[in-house]
Amino acid sequence: SAVISQKPSRDICQRGTSLTIQCQVDSQVTMMFWYRQQPGQSLTLIATANQGSEATYESGFVIDKFPISRPNLTFSTLTVSNMSPEDSSIYLCSVEDYASPTFGSGTRLTVV
């Protein structure tokens, strides 16, 4: 199965700043996904990132707040922009892997 490296694993950021999270896969994949898990909550899909096209965002998420890059078939970034304490969450990338998504280890973000 695919192996995903996600970094940073955790960060503490000041409100108003931005953080870029990187996701590297050890094989080429068509689709990559970004999720958010707020404290004590389930995972919520933020967007789908396809190489060569703009990301597709789910309801409630916008590109200005969560810009995504997908420069090639093994890499993607998610930026959390103009952060507020409400953005404190775990952010995970995933790829589809033989019909089951494989997840990165997540980025635990705390905004102070």
Partner 1 sequence: SQQGEEDPQALSIQEGENATMNCSYKTSINNLQWYRQNSGRGLVHLILIRSNEREKHSGRLRVTLDTSKKSSSLLITASRAADTASYFCATDNFNKFYFGSGTKLNVKP
Task: Give residues in contact with partner 1 (CB under 8 A).
Answer: 31, 33, 35, 37, 41-45, 48, 58, 90, 92, 94, 96, 99-106, 108
58 vs 82 by CB, closer to partner 1 = 58
42 vs 82 by CB, closer to partner 1 = 42
Q: How far is the CB of 11 from partner 1 (least distance, A)?
A: 15
106 vs 111 by CB, closer to partner 1 = 106
Q: How far is the CB of 31 from partner 1 (least distance, A)?
A: 6
Query: DSSP letter string over 40-92?
Result: T--EEEEEEEETTS--EEPTT--TTTS-EEEEETTEEEEEE-S--GGG-EEEE
Alpha carbon 35 to its chain's center:
6
Q: How far is the CB of 86 from partner 1 (least distance, A)?
A: 18
| Token pair 């931005």: residue | 18
Contacts of 52 (CB under 8 A, 6+ apart): 70
The CA distance from 31 to 86, in Å, is: 27
Q: Is the peptide bond before 8 cis (omega within 30 degrees of 0)?
A: yes
Q: How far is the CB of 84 from partner 1 (least distance, A)?
A: 21
18 vs 26 by CB, closer to partner 1 = 26
